Amino acid sequence: MNNQKLFREAYELLPGGVNSPVRAFKAVGGNPIVLTKGRGCRVWDADGREYIDFLASWGPLILGHSHPKVVKAVRKEVEQGMSYGLTNPHEVRLAKLVVEMVPSVEKVRFVNSGTEATMSAVRLARGITGRKLILKFDGCYHGHYDSLLVSAGSGVATFGIPGTPGIPDEIASLTLVIPYNDLEALRNVFEKHGNDIACAIVEPVAGNMGVVPPQKGFLKELRKLTKDYGALLIFDEVITGFRLAKGGAQELFSVEPDLTCLGKVLGGGMPVGAYGGRKELMERVAPEGDIYQAGTLAGNPVAMVSGVETLKELRDTEPYDELEGKMNLLKEGVGSILEDKGIPFRINQIGSMMTVFFTESEVKDFGTAKTSDTEMFSKFFKALLGRGVLIPPSQFEAWFVSTAHEQRDLEEALSRIEDAVKSL
């Protein structure tokens, strides 16, 4: 079956034909593709078309598709057993790697997704502090947990309103939302609500409004204020964990949170999430403590071995300078192509992550990210897709490179992108 037939069938069986909304291509228009194979830095769709892949399954595939060491370990474990419902040795192996690599984590609990990780970390913070309010930042996405799926205006300390039907006002009102990178708003919200805030949760490098790095002093001030007011600081490193450095963004910026949420790279392409922190905090989690959280498939042995092999490869090879160099090459090439065409743009990049924004404004928060010309992005996306270059089908997401992207792949991609931009 080809892309169109498969998607028509999917549409009859799945809401919107997908199991995650962005896959439906509604933000960019056109027909969604159905992927059937991935090798290295390339994927193939149901029509047999090949694409150079900068989506990387939305970030997990830092080693590329079907890395031989990961595939070998997964195949071996599948033959041993796919699920036990009790502790398996691979959970211990992966936990040791996480504790070794992430500066602030002394104990870790594995879950099945980033959403489960953030949900559980927030519950833990509320249980430890005895407080109800959560502080988050406009444009930072932390999964589809009710307390975190809220939006707000740009006012200081604005109480959240439901970001979607199905979230009661009573739950949304417990979440405070302020602009990302806004030090004045940050200080004001703690002055007004600091004694009632259980935790602040933040993407240390935003990746869900497009790539937006923290401005100088922002994370350090957030760390100081949470300590001063007795709130916990949660870093959502589901995207940045193990991608920007062995220890994630917290290692890169030398700021240690109380709790860290992980996912994506952690599972090497398998569905895995985790939350962790200092022993005295994590020892409050059941059965050691009184704050309950559980998962039937948490610590799944197949997912664990995928994560073990991925983290071992990253620990042993430390490819981060190499990855940044590859993304620099891609950024400079795309920037030169767009500049020659006379299209207004900004490119935000950190390490192996970047986003092309079609705006003349500096992009430093969600408000400035939204100045991007989404109609131009849609044209850009479809032109690239038509020439075999896959990027996220949304303006407000990150591009990724992997260790599987060789210079010749990047040069080929830039040639295809140049041809695509000429058609705009």
51 is catalytic: no
pLDDT at 154 over 80: no
Among residues 45, 53, 136, 141, the one annotated as catalytic is 141
Q: How far apart are CA 247 and CA 314, in angstroms?
A: 10
Q: How far apart are CA 199 and CA 132, in angstroms?
A: 9
145 is catalytic: no
Between 12-26, 151-165, 373-387, the lowest mean confidence (pLDDT) is in 151-165
| Beta strand segments in 121-174, E | 133-138, 150-151, 158-159, 161-162
- Confirm if 225 and 86 have CB atoms less than 8 A apart: no
Helix/strand/coil for 38: strand
pTM over 0.75: yes
Among residues 107, 264, 379, 382, the one annotated as catalytic is 264
Write down the number of H helices and E strands in the chain.
14, 17
The fraction of the chain above a pLDDT of 70, given in percent, is: 97
pLDDT at 162 over 70: no
Per-residue pLDDT, averaged over 262-278, amounts to 98
- Grade residue 155 by pLDDT with cuts at 50, 70 and 90: very low
Helix/strand/coil for 82: coil
> What local confidence, expressed as pLDDT, does residue 157 receive?
31
pLDDT at 11 over 60: yes
The domains located in the chain, with CATH, are 1-53 (3.90.1150.10), 68-317 (3.40.640.10), 320-395 (3.90.1150.10)
37 is catalytic: no
DSSP secondary structure, 92-105, as one string: HHHHHHHHHHSTT-
The fraction of the chain above a pLDDT of 90, given in percent, is: 89
Per-residue pLDDT, averaged over 316-320, amounts to 98
Per-residue pLDDT, averaged over 343-357, amounts to 98
The segment with the largest mean pLDDT, out of 8-12, 145-149, 259-263, is 259-263
pLDDT digits (tens, 9 = 90+) for 51-90: 999 999 999 999 999 999 999 999 999 999 999 999 999 9
> What local confidence, expressed as pLDDT, does residue 168 receive?
85
pLDDT at 130 over 50: yes
pLDDT at 167 over 80: yes
- Grade residue 367 by pLDDT with cuts at 50, 70 and 90: very high
pLDDT at 160 over 50: no
- Confirm if 10 and 19 have CB atoms less than 8 A apart: no
> What local confidence, expressed as pLDDT, does residue 120 receive?
98
Q: How far apart are CA 49 and CA 28, in angstroms?
A: 20
- Grade residue 402 by pLDDT with cuts at 50, 70 and 90: very high
Task: Look over the chain and give the mean of its residue pLDDT values, rounded to a whole number.
Answer: 94
> What local confidence, expressed as pLDDT, does residue 161 receive?
53
- Confirm if 305 and 110 have CB atoms less than 8 A apart: no
From the list 131, 130, 129, 170, the residue with the least C-alpha distance to 150 is 170
Among residues 45, 53, 236, 365, the one annotated as catalytic is 236
Per-residue pLDDT, averaged over 378-404, amounts to 97
